[in-house]
Amino acid sequence: MKTFANLLSSLIVAGWLGAISLLSIQNIKPVSLRFLYFESIELPVGLVLAFSVGLGIIGGAIVPPLLQLFEQPRN
């Protein structure tokens, strides 16, 4: 079962990488992100998407152990 989980996660990451590469080839016009009064520098869409996916993967790997750490045992 662990082999299947590794295969599935590898396929998901490979799919994301393929989508990012297609978007970055097709959309080379730079974009900037705005949040409240802050605005980022202009970056290509593919690069923004790659950073977003990377941060999401890292956050998804970090949050479950933190939740288990702070989870209180049930009596």
| Structural domain boundaries in the chain | 2-70
pLDDT of residue 70: 81
pLDDT of residue 74: 67
> pLDDT band at 75, cuts 50/70/90?
low
**Residue 48 burial by CB count (10 A; 0-12/13-18/19+): exposed, middle or buried?**
buried
Residue pLDDT, tens place only, 11-65 = 888 888 888 778 777 777 888 888 888 888 888 887 787 788 788 888 888 888 8
pLDDT of residue 11: 87
Q: Computed over its alpha carbons, how large is the radius of gyration of the chain? A: 17
- With beta carbons less than 8 A apart as the criterion, state whether 49 and 20 touch: yes
Helix (H, G, I), strand (E, B) or coil at 36: coil
pLDDT of residue 46: 77
